Amino acid sequence: MQTEKHDPPKIAYSIKEACKASSLGRTTIYSHIAAGRLLARRIGGRTVIPAESLHALIAGEA
């Protein structure tokens, strides 16, 4: 019997995850960050993108 795995919804994406989730390239992601259309936070040594910010960019709200 196969059990379904239910992960909690993501609240933030790494750059690599954001690229995969949005089908955008690294350069495009960093361009949106530099232009202020995509929010990014440094936590420790990692850069993370809040899920709300990525969703807003894709929805055209950024």
Nearest Cα to 30, choosing from 43, 9, 16, 44? 16
Q: What is the pLDDT of residue 2?
A: 67
Residue 5 in tokens: 């795995």
Q: What is the pLDDT of residue 50?
A: 97
Q: What is the pLDDT of residue 1?
A: 58
What does the mean pLDDT of the chain come to? 93
1-11 pLDDT, tens digit per residue, is 566 788 888 99
Give me the residue spans of the domains in the chain: 12-59
